[in-house]
């Protein structure tokens, strides 16, 4: 990054914290297991849609053990509106089996074991670790985080793994979890893929789109 951008991460954090003083996922959950399942279901699906599905899902199968013994067809039918329902149902049921058998019914609180679960990559693991356990292991990178960080000049990569490393190298570890939530919120509300609302952006005057770097 160029010298003129050296203060950009600090400005980004300060301004986003002012706009979003209590950033959090829009997914509704009550424990680590529910956050894990909801995050897996949210892939290629809106949080709003996932929140319509999970109340009945968790009512019928409230924990990993009960879901591991569920009828696969019933699970598929319930989560069908989330899309990719066959893959997602297989992943959450296999994760339920693994958590029940390998982790005594408790969702792992470390990156390695979380990523050993079916359907769990770094993005999902980061969200669960920070949301459920308060652990800043990395920065979850979704389409919003990717788009906003690229527009701000925080990364030039297209690869989520490299984008995460770029963000981790520029921001303090204590900010990583909130950074994800704040960039997601900014991406949804202001820095949209189409027709971004630049005049309403708290980062307008430090965005490379409007200043000479």
Catalytic (active-site) positions: 123, 142
CB contact burial 40-49 (16+ within 10 A = b; e otherwise): bbbbebebee
The CA distance from 7 to 175, in Å, is 15
How far are the Cα atoms of 133, 182, 205 from residue 8, in angstroms, in the given order?
A: 29, 15, 11
CB contact burial 153-176 (16+ within 10 A = b; e otherwise): bbbebeebeebbbbbbebbeeebb
User: What are the helix and strand counts (H, E) for the chain?
Assistant: 11, 0
The CA distance from 180 to 129, in Å, is 13
Contact (Cβ atoms closer than 8 angstroms) between residue 67 and residue 61: yes
The CA distance from 110 to 129, in Å, is 7
The CA distance from 118 to 96, in Å, is 9
Contact (Cβ atoms closer than 8 angstroms) between residue 35 and residue 54: no
């Amino acid at each position: 990054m160029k010298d003129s951008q050296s203060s950009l991460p600090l400005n980004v954090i300060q301004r986003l914290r002012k706009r979003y003083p209590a950033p959090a996922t829009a997914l509704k959950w009550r424990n680590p297991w529910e956050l894990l399942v909801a995050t897996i279901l949210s892939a290629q699906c809106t949080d709003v849609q996932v929140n319509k599905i999970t109340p009945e899902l968790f009512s019928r199968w409230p924990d990993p053990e009960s879901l591991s013994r569920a009828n696969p067809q019933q699970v598929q039918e319930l989560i069908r509106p989330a899309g990719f329902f066959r893959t997602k149902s297989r992943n959450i049921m296999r994760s339920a089996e693994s958590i029940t058998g390998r982790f005594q019914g408790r969702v792992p609180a470390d990156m390695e074991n979380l990523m050993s679960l079916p359907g769990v990559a770094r993005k999902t693991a980061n969200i669960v670790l920070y949301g459920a356990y308060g652990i800043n292991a990395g920065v979850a990178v979704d389409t919003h985080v990717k788009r906003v960080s690229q527009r701000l000049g925080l990364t030039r990569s297209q690869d989520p793994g490299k984008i995460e490393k770029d963000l981790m190298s520029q921001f303090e570890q204590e900010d990583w979890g909130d950074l994800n939530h704040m960039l997601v919120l900014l991406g949804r509300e202001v820095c949209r893929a189409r027709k971004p609302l630049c005049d309403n952006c708290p980062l307008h005057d430090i965005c490379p789109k409007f200043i000479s770097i």
